[in-house]
Amino acid sequence: MQPLFLAVGIVVLVAVIVDIIWTTLWVDGGSGPLSGRLTTWTWRGLRSVGDDHPKVLSTAGPLVLTLTLAMWIALLWIGWAFLFAVDETALVSTHTGATADWSGRFYYVAYTMFTNGNGDYTPTTSTWEIASSFTTATGMAFVTLGVSYVLTVLGAVSEKRSFASDVTGLGRRSEAFVRAGWADEDEFRGLDLPLESLSTQLSLLADQHKAYPILHYYHSEQADRASAVAVPILDEALTLFRHGVTDDAQPNPTLVENARASTDSYLQTLDTAFVEPADDVPPPPNLDRLREEGIPTVDDEEFGETLEELRERRRKLLGVVRADAWQWPPVDERE
């Protein structure tokens, strides 16, 4: 009897099983303690070597996902191997009758986790037969949860890039987004459906980021398909609609506030991905770009006071952009 091996095996198995369940099944929990740290370390490592290379950073999501699955397999493998090492006679070779050494235990655990076994080793007592059954059960459960997790994450990645494309399709800067809806007749037309659609997409995206923080690390090689760029563009456009445009010319306030609530939900997910607000604030939107299109706006001083009240919110938005290795949308450049 080896009590140290028993303790190590139990601790490792409990840790990895909790991490798997936490990450894949607990919607409000975010990443598990182990996978969350692995994700952060991997992203920081890639940022340190490829901060200026979008193609390098675009490997972060697939790499983190692969490493997470590999970590779960390795820890399950190690944990069960230590448990079978508690009793030196737990496993014996069916060919020679010799007890299994460490290589034999790892070999037995590997094929027991994912198959019904090949008969090279066999448990010697009913206790170890039951342990073998649990080994197979954890292996099958891991396959089921792992596949479901991968498919869900990849589906969410496609949805977040679709959302980003929809936003940047209306404008790659907040002023361009606002100008796209101006009908040249003292009112905004055609914005109701896009705002409602974007609000719905962003609400779903916020829930997905909360459930699967790994989504924050799926970096797009193109800025116009990056949600970390699209969300600030949309939120700054909503600020212009709500506080930059005069009251008599504003679009449907209900849709604007609903879209604003969706960005609030998205910003609340940042804590699960260890995204911190920036120390400074981004440059303000340029009201002159709206005035050139004949859009009635408030004066610069009044708008500046509003932006000061939104300082903390805009710091969070800038933190989102920088955390994903992008620059703040160049608001002063023309289309």
- Report the C-alpha gap between 138 and 159 in whole angstroms: 31
- Report the C-alpha gap between 327 and 233 in whole angstroms: 12
pLDDT of residue 332: 40
pLDDT of residue 333: 44
pLDDT of residue 126: 92
- Helices 3-25 and 33-50 cross at an angle (nearest 10°) of 70
Go through the chain and tell me how many residues it has: 335
- Report the C-alpha gap between 213 and 273 in whole angstroms: 6
- Report the C-alpha gap between 256 and 260 in whole angstroms: 6
pLDDT of residue 288: 92
**Which mean pLDDT values do the consecutive 10-residue runs of the chain (335 residues) have?**
89 95 84 89 85 81 93 95 92 88 92 77 90 91 90 92 93 91 77 91 91 87 89 95 91 91 88 78 92 91 94 92 82 43
Here the tokens at position 104 are 């034999």
Cβ neighbours of residue 31 under 8 Å, at least 6 residues apart? Answer: 22, 23, 39, 212, 213, 214, 272
Residue 296: closest CA among 171, 179, 177, 194: 179
pLDDT of residue 134: 92
| Cβ–Cβ < 8 Å for 77, 109 | yes
Give strand pairing partners of 122. 92
- Helices 102-114 and 60-84 cross at an angle (nearest 10°) of 120
- Report the C-alpha gap between 128 and 9 in whole angstroms: 14
Here the tokens at position 322 are 């920088």
Here the tokens at position 280 are 């400074």
| Cβ–Cβ < 8 Å for 155, 161 | no
Give strand pairing partners of 92. 99, 122
- In 10 A of CB 296, how many CB atoms? 14
Q: How does pLDDT run across 272-312, given as a tens digit for each residue?
A: 666 788 899 999 999 999 999 889 999 999 999 999 999 99
DSSP-derived pairing of the beta strands 121-123 and 91-93:
antiparallel
pLDDT of residue 57: 87
Q: What are phi and psi of 204, to 5 degrees?
A: -65, -40
pLDDT of residue 48: 85
